[in-house]
Amino acid sequence: EMQLVESGGGLVQPGGSLKLSCAASGFAFSGSDIHWVRQPSGKGLEGVGRIESKPRNYATKYAASVKGRFTISRDDSKSTTYLQMNSLKVEDTAVYYCAAYVCGSARCGMDVWGQGATVTVAS
């Protein structure tokens, strides 16, 4: 079974830092791009960023709202992706999902999603 399991969410004060982890199993993690997507309470989905696979040099892309504050990394030996969040703002409060873009014989898609990690930024 393809699976992503997230950990690391919690409560942090404005200006603080938090690191989320996303551990994969059941699919070829090293060949997959990994996305981070967030959903503030009562609002829609927002792309945070992505990290590409090794053949594409682990390139990273970020949404303007988090660029310079968030960093996505991965450790293929551990099948794990990380989202390091610094200088957190109240508006970063959301459920954060990691998602894997996987390809099969007939199609590709963001088929595997983590269960979500709640990040609350408040004083």
Positions touching another protein (CB under 8 A) are: 35, 37, 44-50, 61-64, 97, 99, 106-111, 113-116
Shortest gap between Cβ of 38 and another protein (angstroms)? 11
Measured CA to CA, the distance from residue 117 to residue 60 in angstroms comes to 21
Nearer to another protein, 29 or 70 (CB): 70
Structure tokens given for 11: 């409560």
Q: How many CB atoms lie within 10 A of CB 54?
A: 10
As a whole number of angstroms, the distance between CA 30 and CA 101 comes to 11
Q: Which is nearer to another protein, 77 or 107 (CB)?
A: 107
**Which residues make beta-bridge pairs with 80?**
23, 75
CB of 76 to another protein, least distance (A): 21
Nearer to another protein, 16 or 89 (CB): 89
CB of 71 to another protein, least distance (A): 15
Nearer to another protein, 88 or 112 (CB): 112
State the minimum distance, in angstroms, from the CB of residue 118 to another protein: 12
b (16+ CB within 10 A) / e for 68-106: eebbbebeeeebbbbbebeebeeebbbbbbbbbbbeeee
